[in-house]
Structure 1
Amino acid sequence: MKLNSEEQAILDGKSGTTMQKVMQTLLLYGQAVDATHMVTIEGEGHFSISGPFPGGDIPLYLLDELVDAGLRTKLPFTLNPKSPLDFENLGVTQAQKQEFKKMFRDETHYQRGMRKLGLRGRNDYTCSPYVFDGGNTPKRDMILAWSESSCVIYANSALGARTNRNAAIIDLLSNIIGKTPVFGLLIDEGRRANWRIDIETTELPNPQLLGTAIGKRVQDGIPYICGLDRFFTNQIDERARDYLKEMGATCAAIGAIGLYHIENVTPEALDQGRSLLLSDHRVHLINDSELQELVNSYPNMWDKQDSVPEKVMIGCPHLSLRELLEWTDRISGCLDKNGREKIAIDTVLVAPPQVLQLFREQHHAEHQKLQAAGARLSATCCEAYMTNRLCSSEAVLTNSSKLRAYTNARLVLDEQLVETIVTGNMQQSSNKTRLRNTKVKNPEEEYSENLLSKTQIPPTQVINIEKKVTTFHGRPLYPDNVSGKALVTRSGFNSLASFVDAMLNNSISAICSDHDSPDLYGRALTGSIFCIPKDENQLNVQD
């Protein structure tokens, strides 16, 4: 990767030792992704790690070194939601409260450091920074270095800005330098679609289901979506914005999609149409039947399958003001229909601090109505709430496929969810849990047995093959000879969902906790070599 004179001077240490380390890191990153050069970042940053998330945060020693060197990002940045420490808004028990305090004991230190590094404001913590006036809403073609997957996909797709799905820490370091390696979604060719997704549903599909279906099929590709324009105009109004936010967040969580195009709706599709499709693109049709099959396939990951729901979390990603008002109307209407004054299940609606302030100040009557019904409002992170082992053991419902993918929360669609919130009655799923016969390879992992007992994945097919050799061709980052057990997955590899339980349990080895991966779920990951075919037809079952 070529550096200009200014960049080379930083690499040579002329801006200090810490800045030199920052440039060295970005250079290695650029070389790993085969970038040719760097480009100047033009918009404010948005970073995924907003607090001392157990096992996944920026190490405090690194944070302190950057702060002590007097470094700041070239432009201000916003962060993902704060840690779940607003206990009165979450309805936590005393035991849960103490566990959270232990988990996030470095919160004050962390937040102080992020403010010194360039955090835009004390309330700029949300995974939906573009849903309110004055938020972090980049302009078309603006070069960014963002990380939060739901923000990346919205900025690229709905706004037409340009950012790759950068890793945590890389996002911060890029914005300190003020430059990012040029590759992938920053260049025109990298934004062309390799899938055409035809939507043939009778009505506008649920965004959570559609995002899941697209994510599973496309994985890390770029879809060009046809047929959704029946339900939208060519202007992205608040309704369309919220739909794209929800659908995109799910595409990014279930797959690894950083950009989608919607025919006659999103900016680049409006300008370029189907010329965005690569000549060898693949085609997939999504209809009502596929989406219903998807609903029926979701496993029940609760510790006790027949538990009574204890909590509902709504707002992953964070709700807009329009969505918050919509949920207020839904809950109020359902209460009236059932002759009730209070909801039956503890429910938390989660939104940006700025949206909650607008809700309180400009929609006072609705705010009072929602609180009178017993619902709670918070600006925290739903996923972070579920990282507390005492919270994840609860029977939690959600309407977010992203939260369902990363935790044991059960997905319930909006229409049924509001009935359950109000009445406490849970419609039973037609699915029955099927136990997997695979034996856990690492018996020292206490949590693995719990994982395996809840999966619906059928028994693994074992095939003995003599002298079978499969060769994967790629560009080595660090050439070496290694050996290990091959784990082949045809459904992509979701690193966060796969390792999150091991991270939270401080395990010495990892059992895959991604319950959306039929090939890897419940298997020992430590010491294995992941074989991930680029094309789902590249390997057959014998491989």
Structure 2
Amino acid sequence: MEKELKMENLTIYAKNITILTGDEELDKHLEIGADPHGAMCTGTGHSRADVKHDPSAPKPKMKLTQEEQDIYDGKKGEVLSKVMKTVIAYGEAFGASKLVDLGGNPHTVLLGGTPAVTPVIDILNECADAGLKTYAEYTINPRPYDFYNVEVDPEHQLKLQSMFSTQTELEKMHVRLGAKNYNYWSCACYWPEVGNAPAHGTNLAWSESSAVNYANSVLGARSNRNSGGIEMLCNILGKAPYFGLMTDEGRKAKWLIEVKTKGEPNWSVLGGAIGMKVMEDVPYIVGIDKYLGQVDGISMGKLKDMGAATATNGAVGLYHVENITPDAIDEGRKLLAKDYKTYVIDDEIIEQVRKHYPNLWTQKDAKPTRAFVGCPHNSFHQLYDWGMKVTHELSNRGQERVAIPLHLLCSTLVKDHFMDKHPELVRDMIRAGITFTNSCPLTFLGIPGITKTEFAVTNSNKAREYTNSRFFRDEDILEIVLSGEIPEEAV
């Protein structure tokens, strides 16, 4: 009975979040936190203002097909019936009119085995006990630690094992429900080596914010920013509620973002500036196609970094880039919603936003101890680019090794591809003190006690948002890695 109550009364929690830079003029310019309705409250492309709640109004009812009604009525098993009822309740909370069939392969954010996820593990184990699996094999976010390459200190390991005490149980659950093997676990499941890149127009129920963002925007698939747990129930059912970013109307852009920088912008900071402004609305971005050209391995990395920043500095689940992303190629500025707003981003805004990212180190003037590059996971081309930059600069300086460890975050399959194509470069990188890790994000950096000894730097706006690591541009990260010092002009 307890498990039944857990499943049928699964609650989707959200809270209002106000993000301030600490500079009154910049806050006013960005209008950060100005939405009294709490624009980030749902994470699905619908703000609270769009989800009207009138207690006296009749609750919306979803139209079900006969097959769906049979599942609801328990004709295909009690547990699947509870899954259906939970998914319907979720959809009706957002005004969904129907369910749609899912395609491609699922992906889930659920790979951090803290005690907080125990109720979700119980629910999904109940599904596995009933013989249920997802409609197709699925990929998973990477483990939040890596005892082989990153957290090698015994103190770090013990604290992480205590924090993630349900990790083994969570991973067993995924195996039972149809997860692909560990090689396929990555927050960037869409890279060719991992292969989970659904076709344009495919309906999905994904939850990882940056993966949802990339799938919707760069691939043209359709998924809301679902909560971890509810997306697994949708993927077991093989259906998801039709609302928000899955609808034509929900994919309209409420913002026209005009990028007017003098040169190619820092993609992570640009994404941060967009996310902080539009919150979870859909932006239509113009002025950057000249820096992207055709969508290839290099430009996809730029779009990944920009998109991840919009998804974490704000809550953007979908963006359009004029002449680049599939929806924008198909429809152009017809994607702009009626009464859209315009926001211009120039070099001054990029620099203002970058300089106001906070220093969360416990010792503000400490020397960096590590550098992390690749959250979300690096692509093949990004690994190559960093390998060439670091080894060439070491050679130019007559230096054998980096001054502080450089950790390149990537999928195991992407690393294997890179090693196969550039074995000598990989050899030189390892000799220089560069490590490859499939971990993400940088969980251990926030553990009490460790914050007093670890002072990490990163080029990832997502990692900056989720941890106490400090953000620096690529050129600054390179200098920090080589010298162990933060350049004065980088602050």
TM bucket normalised to smaller: 0.7 to 0.9
Structure 1 residues 203-212 or 107-116, which shifts more?
A: 107-116
In structure 2, give the amino acid aligned to 1:45.
P
Corresponding residue for residue 333 of structure 1: 392
Q: Secondary structure at the match of 2:149?
A: helix
Kindly provide the CA deviation profile for residues 269-290 of structure 1, in whole angstroms up to 9, marking residues without a partner as x.
1121111111200001000011
1:56 positional shift: 5.0
Aligned-residue Cα RMSD (Å) equals 1.6
> Are residues 422 and 58 of structure 1, via their aligned partners in 2, closer, same or farther at CA, if it must alter by over 3 Å?
farther
Q: Secondary structure at the match of 1:194?
A: strand
Is residue 343 of structure 2 the alignment partner of residue 284 of structure 1? yes
Corresponding residue for residue 12 of structure 1: 73
Corresponding residue for residue 2 of structure 1: 63
- What TM-score does the superposition give when structure 2 sets the normalisation length? 0.84
Q: Give, in whole Å, the separation in 2 of the partners of 1:318 and 1:65.
A: 32
Q: Give, in whole Å, the separation in 2 of the partners of 1:325 and 1:163.
A: 31
Kindly provide the CA deviation profile for residues 126-169 of structure 1, in whole angstroms up to 9, marking residues without a partner as x.
01111124510110101111111101111111111111111111
Is residue 300 of structure 2 the alignment partner of residue 241 of structure 1? yes
Corresponding residue for residue 128 of structure 1: 188
Equivalent in 243, 259, 264 of residue 318 of structure 2: 259
Equivalent in 364, 377, 380 of residue 318 of structure 1: 377
Equivalent in 241, 251, 256 of residue 196 of structure 1: 256
Contact 2:194–2:414 (CA under 8 A) maintained in structure 1 = no
Corresponding residue for residue 468 of structure 1: none
Q: Give, in whole Å, the separation in 1 of the partners of 2:175 and 2:117.
A: 20
Kindly provide the CA deviation profile for residues 32-87 of structure 1, in whole angstroms up to 9, marking residues without a partner as x.
11000101001211111123145357633223212211110111111011231x31
Q: Secondary structure at the match of 2:480?
A: helix
Corresponding residue for residue 26 of structure 1: 87
Is residue 111 of structure 2 the alignment partner of residue 50 of structure 1? yes
Q: Give, in whole Å, the separation in 2 of the partners of 1:300 and 1:54.
A: 30
Q: Give, in whole Å, the separation in 1 of the partners of 2:176 and 2:156.
A: 31
Contact 1:334–1:419 (CA under 8 A) maintained in structure 2 = no
Kindly provide the CA deviation profile for residues 187-209 of structure 1, in whole angstroms up to 9, marking residues without a partner as x.
11111111000011111111110
Q: Give, in whole Å, the separation in 1 of the partners of 2:175 and 2:286.
A: 43
Is residue 137 of structure 2 the alignment partner of residue 72 of structure 1? no
1:440-455 alignment, distance < 5 Å: none
Equivalent in 170, 184, 187 of residue 244 of structure 2: 184
1:106-185 alignment, distance < 5 Å: 106-133=166-193, 135-185=195-245
1:400 positional shift: 0.7
Kindly provide the CA deviation profile for residues 292-323 of structure 1, in whole angstroms up to 9, marking residues without a partner as x.
11121111100111111111111100001110
Structure 1 residues 49-58 or 112-121, which shifts more?
A: 49-58
Kindly provide the CA deviation profile for residues 439-467 of structure 1, in whole angstroms up to 9, marking residues without a partner as x.
xxxxxxxxxxxxxxxxxxxxxxxxxxxxx
Q: Secondary structure at the match of 1:158?
A: helix
1:20 positional shift: 1.8
1:447-486 alignment, distance < 5 Å: none
Q: Give, in whole Å, the separation in 1 of the partners of 2:138 and 2:448.
A: 31
Q: Give, in whole Å, the separation in 2 of the partners of 1:206 and 1:391.
A: 30
> Are residues 155 and 298 of structure 1, via their aligned partners in 2, closer, same or farther at CA, if it must alter by over 3 Å?
same
Contact 2:64–2:98 (CA under 8 A) maintained in structure 1 = yes
Q: Give, in whole Å, the separation in 1 of the partners of 2:121 and 2:438.
A: 24
% same residue: 38
> Are residues 126 and 157 of structure 1, via their aligned partners in 2, closer, same or farther at CA, if it must alter by over 3 Å?
same
Equivalent in 425, 430, 445 of residue 386 of structure 1: 445
**Higher helix share goes to which structure?**
2
Contact 2:107–2:206 (CA under 8 A) maintained in structure 1 = yes
In structure 2, give the amino acid aligned to 1:40.
D
1:115 positional shift: 1.1
> Are residues 39 and 257 of structure 1, via their aligned partners in 2, closer, same or farther at CA, if it must alter by over 3 Å?
same
Q: Give, in whole Å, the separation in 1 of the partners of 2:471 and 2:65.
A: 50
1:391 positional shift: 4.2
Corresponding residue for residue 477 of structure 2: 417
> Are residues 389 and 135 of structure 1, via their aligned partners in 2, closer, same or farther at CA, if it must alter by over 3 Å?
farther
Q: Secondary structure at the match of 1:59?
A: helix
Q: Give, in whole Å, the separation in 1 of the partners of 2:408 and 2:211.
A: 19
> Are residues 383 and 365 of structure 1, via their aligned partners in 2, closer, same or farther at CA, if it must alter by over 3 Å?
same
Q: Secondary structure at the match of 1:101?
A: helix
Contact 2:120–2:229 (CA under 8 A) maintained in structure 1 = no
Is residue 99 of structure 2 the alignment partner of residue 38 of structure 1? yes
Corresponding residue for residue 376 of structure 1: 435
Contact 1:76–1:119 (CA under 8 A) maintained in structure 2 = yes
1:241 positional shift: 0.6
> Are residues 430 and 203 of structure 1, via their aligned partners in 2, closer, same or farther at CA, if it must alter by over 3 Å?
closer
1:392 positional shift: 4.2
1:430 positional shift: 8.4
> Are residues 211 and 52 of structure 1, via their aligned partners in 2, closer, same or farther at CA, if it must alter by over 3 Å?
same
> Are residues 78 and 391 of structure 1, via their aligned partners in 2, closer, same or farther at CA, if it must alter by over 3 Å?
farther
Q: Give, in whole Å, the separation in 1 of the partners of 2:195 and 2:379.
A: 12
Q: Secondary structure at the match of 2:344?
A: strand
In structure 1, give the amino acid aligned to 2:263.
E
Contact 2:193–2:413 (CA under 8 A) maintained in structure 1 = no
Corresponding residue for residue 103 of structure 1: 163
Equivalent in 257, 279, 283 of residue 223 of structure 1: 283
Corresponding residue for residue 499 of structure 1: none
- What TM-score does the superposition give when structure 1 sets the normalisation length? 0.76
Contact 2:114–2:166 (CA under 8 A) maintained in structure 1 = no
Q: Give, in whole Å, the separation in 1 of the partners of 2:166 and 2:472.
A: 35
Q: Give, in whole Å, the separation in 1 of the partners of 2:119 and 2:383.
A: 32
Q: Give, in whole Å, the separation in 2 of the partners of 1:159 and 1:165.
A: 15
> Are residues 374 and 430 of structure 1, via their aligned partners in 2, closer, same or farther at CA, if it must alter by over 3 Å?
closer
1:357 positional shift: 1.2
> Are residues 209 and 139 of structure 1, via their aligned partners in 2, closer, same or farther at CA, if it must alter by over 3 Å?
same
Q: Give, in whole Å, the separation in 2 of the partners of 1:47 and 1:387.
A: 23
Q: Give, in whole Å, the separation in 2 of the partners of 1:57 and 1:320.
A: 33
1:6 positional shift: 1.5
Is residue 120 of structure 2 the alignment partner of residue 59 of structure 1? yes
Unmatched tracts of structure 2, length 5 or more? 1-61
In structure 2, give the amino acid aligned to 1:81.
P
Contact 2:113–2:168 (CA under 8 A) maintained in structure 1 = no
Corresponding residue for residue 521 of structure 1: none
Q: Give, in whole Å, the separation in 2 of the partners of 1:19 and 1:287.
A: 52
Corresponding residue for residue 478 of structure 1: none
> Are residues 58 and 252 of structure 1, via their aligned partners in 2, closer, same or farther at CA, if it must alter by over 3 Å?
farther
Structure 1 residues 86-95 or 51-60, which shifts more?
A: 51-60
| Greater relative contact order structure (CA < 8 Å, 6+ sep) | 2
Corresponding residue for residue 359 of structure 2: 300
